[in-house]
Amino acid sequence: MAIKFKGKKSSLTFKKSNTAKHDRLTLRLSGKERFAIELLALKEGVTVSRIIMRTLEPTLKAALTIEQVKGSQKENIYIPDASFDSVPPDRLVKLALIAPNFLSETDAVIWKVIQEDTSLWDKGKPNFKMIRESWKAINKTAQELVDTYSNEL
């Protein structure tokens, strides 16, 4: 992950990068905050990205770990490990299967379309290949649902 520093206010921007590099995250920090992070990275002999990830990891693990019951076993699952996929349709389905409450409103409508279309399922499990092949149509149907029913609320 590459970090870009800009401006005086703190804010985040996520940018897609080329496939040869990791994704980038832009942080808006004051000059003093940037200087402090760079000093710490120099002191410890690591990258600025490593300093930031090391700081964030405990918070991410605590907030994004859920407990699932499988049979009589309880298992802790870190949502990003279980659901991340570089292919967006696969990622949405994986997230919906393990933590549907983390879906955005848009993604929840897309998931509803997928759930209701029996051709996208095989023996009770999502058919990832079929979902990818139908992705544009799924999104179109989801948008039509929103357009049709959003005014009725």
> What percent of the chain shows pLDDT beyond 70?
84
Asked whether residue 46 is domain-assigned, the answer is: yes
Please tell me what DSSP assigns to residue 132.
Answer: H
Asked whether residue 72 is domain-assigned, the answer is: no
In terms of pTM, does the model score above 0.85?
no
> What percent of the chain shows pLDDT beyond 90?
75
pLDDT score for 10: 47
Residue 131: exposure state from Cβ atoms within 10 A (0-12, 13-18, ≥19): buried
| Pair (59, 84) in one structural domain | no
Report the C-alpha dihedral over residues 15, 16, 21, 22, rounded to 10 degrees: 60
* pLDDT tens by residue, 100-135: 999 999 999 999 999 999 999 999 999 999 999 999
Confidence tier at 150 by pLDDT (50, 70, 90): confident
Asked whether residue 71 is domain-assigned, the answer is: no
pLDDT score for 70: 83
Is the pLDDT assigned to residue 6 strictly greater than 80?
A: no
Q: Which two tokens stand for residue 152?
A: 């009725």
| Pair (84, 146) in one structural domain | yes
Asked whether residue 14 is domain-assigned, the answer is: yes
Asked whether residue 74 is domain-assigned, the answer is: no
Asked whether residue 96 is domain-assigned, the answer is: yes
| Pair (44, 102) in one structural domain | no
Tell me which of 15, 32, 63 is where a domain ends. Answer: 63
| Pair (8, 48) in one structural domain | yes
Q: What's the CA gap between 38 and 45, in Å, rounded?
A: 10
pLDDT score for 152: 58
Please compute the mean of the pLDDT values over residues 82-98 and round it to a whole number. 97
Asked whether residue 73 is domain-assigned, the answer is: no
Number of domains in the chain: 2
| Pair (89, 143) in one structural domain | yes
| Pair (54, 106) in one structural domain | no
The answer to whether 40 and 51 have CB atoms below 8 angstroms apart is yes
Is the pLDDT assigned to residue 63 strictly greater than 80?
A: yes
| Pair (28, 53) in one structural domain | yes
pLDDT score for 1: 45
Is the pLDDT assigned to residue 7 strictly greater than 70?
A: no
Domain with 115, as residue range(s), is 80-152
Among candidate residues 40, 75, 77, the one with its CA nearest the CA of residue 55:
40
